[in-house]
Amino acid sequence: MLSDDRWFTEYCEEAGSAHSFRIEAKLHEEQTGYQKIEVYETTHFGRVMVIDGFIMLSARDNFIYHEMLAHPILYTHEAPKRVAVVGGGDCGTLNEVLKHPEVEQVTLIDIDERVVRLSEIHFPELCGRNDDPRAKFCFTDGCKWMREAPQDSIDVIIVDSTDPIGPGEILFSGEFYSACQRALAGNGLLVQQSESPLLHMDILRGMYREMKGAGFSHLKSLFFPLSVYPSGWWSATMARKGAPIEGFREEAAGNRPFQTRYYNSDIHRGAFCAPEFFYQALSDIEPVT
């Protein structure tokens, strides 16, 4: 029943699970030079973008993901002026970053320009700030861009990547993290989506190892719900250059000059609270102190 054309189903091979959304129409399908992009209109989750069979976002709940990728790191950094978003072609993370008046420039680096162009058509609510003079778009390989970025030139890097297969794989490598480490200014911060804590601790362990190997000695993961991703529970992992990740600009977060639907100061604090099994699974890489 769910394989008929009234449903879009995403399979999660490694979990023996699948999740499905009832669709009203397929709005678009194209094979770009990098990946296959589909856009569906669903009955209850609004528009959904799918890349290579994996749901990237839905109109209904992308606010959680985009707010949690943008605001915790920007309110943790003391003065985030120069930001790079690697991946994130749907522009939702960029849109949240641009809500921060203290940000002076944001470069979005996505290998596939078509993701941005299709998002402008099908998710205009995420692209409303694309013309902000602080925003710059580079359609190139994120790892190459980062290697070529001037040393100490970025305050905050947000890696809004696909899963570590296909074009996104390089963004989970030590080579990429070393390039980030070099490009970040002192006390600079990196955050990257880091998959499901329930399903993908092997990926998280790999990421912790690679980030530490690249010189990021201080790591912390944050957790949030996301119904369109496998298991409905997702994480992002934050790394700081040269200093522990402690506290955040709480007063600024509480007085933020824009509306949010998920993020607030309480959520900021709560998101960094890790479950017991998470500490245990990382205990040989990142001992709890």
Evaluate whether 147 touches 179 at the Cβ level (below 8 Å): yes
The β-bridge relationship of strands 154-160 and 82-87 is parallel
Q: What does each C-alpha distance from 42 to 6, 8, 27, 129, 205 come to in angstroms?
A: 9, 9, 10, 25, 35
At residue 82, what are phi and psi to the nearest 5 degrees? -115, 115
Give the integer Cα–Cα distance in Å for 185 and 261.
Answer: 31
CB 267 to a copy of itself: min, Å: 5
CB 271 to a copy of itself: min, Å: 7
160 catalytic per annotation: yes
CB 285 to a copy of itself: min, Å: 19
Is the CB of 11 or the CB of 139 nearer to a copy of itself? 11
Is the CB of 95 or the CB of 181 nearer to a copy of itself? 95
Q: Pick the catalytic residue from 141, 160, 266, 284.
A: 160
CB 87 to a copy of itself: min, Å: 23
Is the CB of 186 or the CB of 247 nearer to a copy of itself? 247
CB 151 to a copy of itself: min, Å: 36
> By the criterion CB under 8 A, which residues form the site for a copy of itself?
1-3, 7, 9, 14-22, 42-45, 60-61, 64, 197-199, 223, 225-227, 231-233, 259-264, 266-267, 269-277
Is the CB of 161 or the CB of 235 nearer to a copy of itself? 235
CB 184 to a copy of itself: min, Å: 27
At residue 162, what are phi and psi to the nearest 5 degrees? -75, -175
Is the CB of 56 or the CB of 149 nearer to a copy of itself? 56
Is the CB of 33 or the CB of 261 nearer to a copy of itself? 261
Residue written as tokens 């530490």? Answer: 212
- Catalytic positions are 160
